[in-house]
Amino acid sequence: MQVKRNHRILILIFLVVLSAELYFSLQTPYLDNQGYLIERYTEHILETGKPLFYDTLSYNGRDVLYSPLWHYVLAVFSLMFGNFVFKLVPALFSSSLVFVVYLLSKKIVDNEELALFIALMSGFIPVVFVDSLISASVYSLAIPIMFYLIYLFMDLDEKKIGVFVALSFLLSLLHPVSILFSLGLLVYYLLGLSENMKISNLNVEAMAFNFVSTFFIQFLIYKKAFLEYGFSVIWHNVPSQILGSYFDFDLFGMLYRVGALTLIFGLIGIIWGMIKKKDRIMLLCGFALATLILLWLRLLEPTVGMMFLSVALIVASAFTLNLFLNYLGKTKLPYYRLSFIMIVLGLIISSLAVPSFVLASKHVNDDVPSDYEILVLKWVEENALPDVTIVAPLGKEHTMTAVAGKRTVLDDNFLLAPETSERYRDIERLYSTKSEVEALEIIARYNIDYVFIPIETELKYGKVKWTDDESCFRGIFFGTPKVYQVIC
């Protein structure tokens, strides 16, 4: 009966998290820039049954490399839910993290109430919460799978090995972030060796399998990139200008996006677990360390790294809170149990739920195109010739290709893209230069027919002055955004 009650509470937590996510995501009918890219690839699957591996709109046409599994998942669900799928499915998967975290926490502390509490916390990690709203993000599925794999790994036996193998394959097929899981296992293995901990043979075999299968699948999917870039493939062909700012560490930003409570309790849990040589905490520590190493080497996008790190810390914080509760049990504080629960709830709300809601609200307002932008892009779609090229700054390019259906010069899908650093530099110069000659040179180089100037660009670089030459640039829209047609 007790079990049933906890399960009911867990389902309730799941529904609360799901409702909160849907509440924010349904405040706008649009997606963010990344969401539009996923929508376009998914629609291509729906139309042709095949993934899009030659994108005619990106960089004026080029090969694209990605694992299409996530797009297939969305395509299948879209048969039932239509366009609602890009908000519902990520929210469903992302909310299911509460079940995984519940299982993990229960395994670490063997305290059902605390596990439920941690599960609730995991539903409102700001950086994870925001990611699954309007981006149709693959991480909404990758994170629960990865942490479920950790759960399986903690108590691996002959019965679970089959599931572990299958999910390892699935994760590798889903996204290259599976490498993070393999590295986490490796770091755990090395930590175990250094601490003289006994790691069972089955676990070592599972680790070996995971490493081999992940490596093989990534090689299979990204063969072209490996051939093209060799070992430099790890930098994803990201323009040097962007790569330079990949690890601009911002402690307060991190506290806010991961949650101060998560960070503090999680770190204490990991350090304490390591001191006490707790095997399961060591595993989480392995993941946290692997993530930090990848972040430090600029091999992982900061936001992505923070997502995985924050979930690992949330689970580790179960250990800290359990220690704390045990300590409280020995003091007079149990008499004030209700007050204590209220204080902790208050802390959660202030450090997790409030930042989550603030960030989510900001994200759905700022990172989606405005109604006017969509109107402009629809006009371009209907009135411009089909094979024209529009230049847009980074951050708007996928919206442009998805809504207007026109070619762009640059987008953030850098792998296999031609001359990314040069193009990035040229586009920055195009929007910032005062010289019409320089602008026309860039326009000619990339065969640009339309110039799209969003308000963000004007705020960053000031007014784009060379568009004033009416003999060369015909203004079509003058609001926010502005659109000019190149006529000379």
Partner 1 sequence: MKAASEESFLEHQRYIKLFAKLSILILALAFLLLPGILRESELAIGDRPYYHLTREGDTDRIGIGWNFLLRYFPMNILLPAIGLLSVFFIFFNLKMLKLEERLLATGFFIISPAFVYLFNVGERFGMAFLFTLIASYFLLDKKHLIAGICVVLVFLFDIWIGVFAIAILLLYLLIRYNKKKIFYSLLGVIFLLLLVLGKFNAGIISDMGAKIGSSVFAILFVAFCFLFFWDRKRFFSFYAIAGLLFLFSLKVEFGIFYFGLFLSILVGLCFFELLRIRWESKLVRDLILLIFVCGLLFSGLSYANRISKEKPNEDIFNTLSRLPDGAVVFADLEYGNWIDYNGKKSVWHSLMDRDKIETIRKDVSILLESKDYTKTTEVLERYQIDYLLLDPELKQRWHESGLIYLLKYNSEGFRFLFEENGVEVWRFFR
Question: Site residues (CB under 8 A) for partner 1?
Answer: 158, 161-162, 165, 200-202, 205-206, 208-209, 212-213, 215-216, 219-220, 223, 226-231
**DSSP-assigned letter for residue 177:** T
Q: Which is nearer to partner 1, 205 or 468 (CB)?
A: 205
Q: Rounded distance, CA 229 to CA 218, Å?
A: 14
CA dihedral 233, 238, 239, 242 (to 10 degrees): -140
Q: 325: which 2 tokens?
A: 């509760």
Q: 234: which 2 tokens?
A: 């790890």
Q: Which is nearer to partner 1, 11 or 163 (CB)?
A: 163
CB of 136 to partner 1, least distance (A): 31
CB of 202 to partner 1, least distance (A): 4
Whose CA is closest to 447, among 4, 42, 59? Answer: 59
| 85 three-state secondary structure | helix
CB of 156 to partner 1, least distance (A): 9
Q: Which is nearer to partner 1, 138 or 410 (CB)?
A: 410
CB of 438 to partner 1, least distance (A): 16
Q: Rounded distance, CA 176 to CA 217, Å?
A: 9
Q: How far from chain centre, in Å, is Cα 28?
A: 20
381 with 403: CB under 8 angstroms? Answer: yes
| 195 three-state secondary structure | coil
CB of 197 to partner 1, least distance (A): 17
94 with 106: CB under 8 angstroms? Answer: no
Q: Which is nearer to partner 1, 219 or 478 (CB)?
A: 219
CB of 291 to partner 1, least distance (A): 23
CB of 445 to partner 1, least distance (A): 10
- Helices 85-95 & 69-81 angle (0-180, nearest 10): 110
Q: Which residue has the tokens 């926010």?
A: 480
- Helices 201-221 & 139-154 angle (0-180, nearest 10): 160
Q: Which is nearer to partner 1, 165 or 344 (CB)?
A: 165
Q: Which is nearer to partner 1, 208 or 297 (CB)?
A: 208
Q: 347: which 2 tokens?
A: 């802390």
Q: Which is nearer to partner 1, 201 or 245 (CB)?
A: 201
